[in-house]
Structure 1
Amino acid sequence: MIAAVLFLSLLQSSPNTLTPAERTAGWRLLFDGHTLAGWRGLGYDTVPTGHWVVVDGAIKKIASGNVPRVADGRPLVGGDLMTVDSFADFELSFEWKVTPGANSGVKYNVSEAMSLAQGGAGTQGGPTHSALGFEYQMLDDDRHEDGKLPSHRAAALYDLIAPNDRKHLQRVGQWNRSRIVFRGNHGEHWLNGQKVVEFELGTARMDSLLAASKYKTIPGFGQKRRGHIVLQDHGDEVYFRSIKVRPL
């Protein structure tokens, strides 16, 4: 009996797997722990493998300074990594860790067409393979400059809503467990078992936050859509694993 309990506990904690209960509840893996099947670069037909690789059961974003160079010495063009499939109402679970000073994120509600038309998340000369969408921020809060801004810290709805004081962030180099819930106009960010962000699209509060954000000039940015889930290429070395989703 004790051995059975220990085995079940191991199954529940094994990266890149689904428990029987998760399968019954409708969860599916977006990353199998071995390949990038089901993913492609935003604006590409394939994965930009000079920037994204699988290492030790995790998706690794290679730091821009370590990617291959083209003939004139410039780094090979990379870009965000997006799911081939798109999602409307869903719950997303994933684990992530950053290296010292690193910045990245998981984006959702992403329209590839809007992202390419607007020139990417920079919106003014930004990288064309960068997604526009709501972002679950991933950050080394202590070392990165963005850590000085509450709405840019880890687990924030980037540039819109800061995480609350229930947030507990693991030390750099350790795995964090995160969830995104997005159903109808309702959204939630969770970090290590605590709900740290909650919002409702179409409310006066959200409209005011959008109007004061970097997204204010992008038509339709704040509208709910069936969109892709995206891992951000911010140029830093970061890792993702146990990425799973279920429709709501």
Structure 2
Amino acid sequence: MKKILYSLTALIMCTMLTASCNSANNQAATDSTGKDSVKTTSVADTTGWETVFNGTDFTGWRGYNRTDMPKAWTIEDGAIKINGSGKGEAGAKDGGDIILDKKYKNFEMTFEWKVSEGGNSGVFYLAQEVPGKPIYESSPEYQILDNAKHPDAKLGKDGNRQSASLYDLVPAKPQNAKPAGEWNTGGIIVYKGTVIHQQNGENVVEYHLWTDDWKNMVANSKFKNWPNFLNAGGEKQEGYIGLQDHGDDVWFRNIKIKNLD
């Protein structure tokens, strides 16, 4: 009986210590304003979410089709920032798109973003690294845009170049982006070909990769001669997640991914 009581006591003590440690860790992840800090670990938590940007360095990230990080990308107040060249897609020698150095197949992704006035960027997914080819030739794009001042907002069809749209293909509806300089929440879900874009708490885009509808949509677009775009994800239907340098100042933070495989 003494052994049983001793075991129960030890178990209770361990449980109390674990709870205390968890409480301390949660408190440590909160800044002086009471808001969650962006400086979290890159290890998946108990619900499967992995923080893939730690707020302090570019661990896990690199330039597209290169092994280093382009110098135009910096970290500012716990956020990834692309310091725009002011030259649009022409860019500068120290710029370029970046990718998370890990491929994903079925996943859910959440992030926060804000743009400078007239700013433009994007989040790529299921991207392939094709030597000599830009990332956008193989990857669908979640559009990041200042809808009020960037001319792309008035181009395309039915607003399909506005924020959170599947760029140049499917418009985000409702269009609920916040003005330049304010933080937005974004989300992307990819599951067995079904893709959902989220913006500020709402599902704003839904489409289905590799279906007849997808093939017809691509065939009637500017992407029609890009086989890697049509077959986004390649043979294994998986690929990289990337952030676009479009020549403007843009910020990203709280980037988290849950693997759905």
**Which residue matches 2:3?**
none
Aligned with 1:231 (options 240, 243, 259):
243
Question: 1:180-226: CA deviations, max 9, x gaps?
Answer: 00011100000010000001113332222111222110113232421
Give the whole-Å Cα distance in 1 for the aligned partners of 2:169 and 2:82.
25
Which amino acid is 1:25 matched to?
T
Identity of matched residues, %: 37
Query: Alpha-carbon deviation of 1:87?
Result: 0.7
Query: Alpha-carbon deviation of 1:159?
Result: 1.2
**Which residue matches 1:179?**
187
Distance of aligned partners of 1:43 and 1:97 in 2 relative to their CA distance in 1, 3 Å threshold: same
Aligned residue for 2:227, secondary structure, equals: coil
Give the whole-Å Cα distance in 1 for the aligned partners of 2:162 and 2:205.
12
Q: Is the 8 A contact 1:181 1:188 kept in 2?
A: yes
The within-5 A match list for 1:12-27 is: 14-16=36-38, 23-27=45-49
Report whether the alignment pairs 1:41 with 2:63: yes
Query: Alpha-carbon deviation of 1:76?
Result: 2.4
Which amino acid is 1:164 matched to?
K
The within-5 A match list for 1:72-151 is: 75-113=92-130, 116-117=131-132, 119-120=133-134, 132-149=138-155, 150-151=159-160
Q: Is the 8 A contact 1:105 1:138 kept in 2?
A: yes
Give the whole-Å Cα distance in 2 for the aligned partners of 1:25 and 1:99.
34
Give the whole-Å Cα distance in 1 for the aligned partners of 2:84 and 2:102.
26
Query: Alpha-carbon deviation of 1:161?
Result: 0.4
TM-score of the two chains, using structure 2 as the length reference:
0.78
Which amino acid is 1:154 matched to?
S
Give the whole-Å Cα distance in 1 for the aligned partners of 2:137 and 2:95.
12
Which amino acid is 1:162 matched to?
P
Aligned with 2:199 (options 169, 181, 191):
191
Distance of aligned partners of 1:47 and 1:89 in 2 relative to their CA distance in 1, 3 Å threshold: same
Which amino acid is 1:189 matched to?
H
Deviates more, 1:201-210 or 1:34-43: 201-210
Which amino acid is 1:29 matched to?
T
Q: Is the 8 A contact 1:15 1:241 kept in 2?
A: no
**Which residue matches 2:178?**
170
Task: Flag as ranges the 4+ runs of structure 1 deviating above 4 A.
Answer: 10-13
Which amino acid is 1:181 matched to?
I
TM-score of the two chains, using structure 1 as the length reference:
0.82
**Which residue matches 1:53?**
74
Give the whole-Å Cα distance in 2 for the aligned partners of 1:40 and 1:102.
22
Query: Alpha-carbon deviation of 1:154?
Result: 0.3
Q: Is the 8 A contact 2:40 2:54 kept in 1?
A: no
Q: Is the 8 A contact 2:224 2:230 kept in 1?
A: no
Distance of aligned partners of 1:169 and 1:105 in 2 relative to their CA distance in 1, 3 Å threshold: same
